[in-house]
Structure 1
Amino acid sequence: MTEHAPLKLERFLPYRLSILSNTVSQAIAREYQQEFGLSMTEWRVMAVLARFEPLSAREVAEHTAMDKVAVSRALSRLVDAGRVDRERHDGDRRRSVLRLSEEGWRVHDAVAPRARKHEREMLAQLTTEEIDVLARILDKLAPV
C-alpha cells in the first residue's frame, strides 16, 4: 500500500492566489456581465487594449497571460459587438492591429471606475504598510 500525501490546498500558494483572483474577478464580473454582456476574458482584453493599444492578437494574449484561443474568441466577440476595431497591418496582411472602438471606450470608461472601486474596497482591509509589502511581493513573484 502506498502512502498518499495530499496537498494542503488551503495553504498552497498557487491555489490561494487562484481563489483570491477568482473571488475578486467574479465580484466585478457579475456587474459588467449583467450591464454590458461582457465576459471576464472580454473585459481583460479590453483593459489591455485600453492600456497598450494598438496591439496584435498575439500581443494581447501575452499581456493578459491568457490562452491564445480564449483571447481570439474574446476578440472575435468584441469585434462583432463593435467594441474593438480590427485593421490589417500595413506590412503584413496576416497580422491585425486591434484598438478599442468608440463603443469599446464607452464600455471601458463605465467599467474601469467600478474595477478601481472594488480594488479600493479590498485594499481597505490592509494597512498602508501591508499594501506596500503586497505590491513588492507581487512584483517579485509576477513581474509585469
Structure 2
Amino acid sequence: MAEFDLRNFLPYLLNQAAEETSLGFSQVYKDRYGMLRTEWRVLFHLGRYGDMTASRIGLLSKMHKTKISRAVQALEGKRFVAGRESAEDRRAEILTLLPQGRRAYDDLVRVAEQHNAELMRHFSTGERAVLIDCLQRLAAFEELPD
C-alpha cells in the first residue's frame, strides 16, 4: 500500500497556503485596528456589499454564526459597526458600517490590494488566471451583484 503524502493532500495544501499568504496582511489589521481575522472578514463584507444581516455574512463568508456574533460585538465596541432592527423581520438586525469603520475598511482594502499584488507577482499572467479560477471553483465562490 502506498504511503499517504500529506504534502499532496489538497485540504492540507490549501490550509498551509492560506495561513502563509495571510500572515503579513493579518498583522496589519491587528496592529492598526486591533482586529481579529473574523472581524476583518465581517468588516470586509459590509464594506464591499453594504448593509446586511449577520446571517447573510455567514452565508458569504462561510463563518459560523457564533464567530460572526463575537466579531460584530467587537466591531460595535470599536464603533466600526452598528445594528438596527430590520423592517421586514424584527428578529433580524441589519448591520452597517459607521464612518470610522468605513475609514478602516478603505485603508485595509488599499493594503489588501498591495498585499495581493505582491503575492501574485510570483506568477505569470496565465498562472494567475488559472490559480484564481481553480480556487474560486473549489470555494464555490458566488459574487453578490453590484
Deviation at 1:80, TM superposition (A): 1.7
The corresponding residue for 1:81 is 78
> Is contact 1:42–1:78 with CA below 8 Å preserved after alignment?
yes
The corresponding residue for 1:23 is 20
Deviation at 1:34, TM superposition (A): 1.0
The answer for unaligned runs of 5 or more in structure 2 is 142-146
Deviation at 1:25, TM superposition (A): 1.7
Distance 1:7 1:53, change over 3 A: farther
| Counterpart code for 1:55 | M
The corresponding residue for 1:110 is 107
Deviation at 1:6, TM superposition (A): 6.5
The question of 1:67 aligning with 2:68 is answered: no
Distance 1:12 1:85, change over 3 A: same
- Superposition pairs of residues 1-144 of structure 1, within 5 angstroms: 7-144=4-141
| Counterpart code for 1:128 | T
Deviation at 1:130, TM superposition (A): 0.5
1:114-135 deviation line (CA, Å, top 9, x unaligned): 1111110010000001011112
SS across alignment from 1:90: coil
| Cα distance in 1 for residues equivalent to 2:71 and 2:3 | 36
Distance 1:73 1:131, change over 3 A: same
| Cα distance in 2 for residues equivalent to 1:139 and 1:30 | 25
| Counterpart code for 1:50 | G
TM-score (structure 2 length as normaliser)? 0.90
The percentage of aligned residue pairs carrying the same residue is 30
1:10-61 deviation line (CA, Å, top 9, x unaligned): 1111111011111122211111101110111100111011111211111111
1:62-108 deviation line (CA, Å, top 9, x unaligned): 11111111111001111121101101011322110011110100111
| Counterpart code for 1:127 | S
The answer for unaligned runs of 5 or more in structure 1 is none
Relative contact order (C-alpha < 8 Å, sep 6+): which is higher? 2
RMSD across aligned C-alpha pairs, in angstroms?
Answer: 1.5
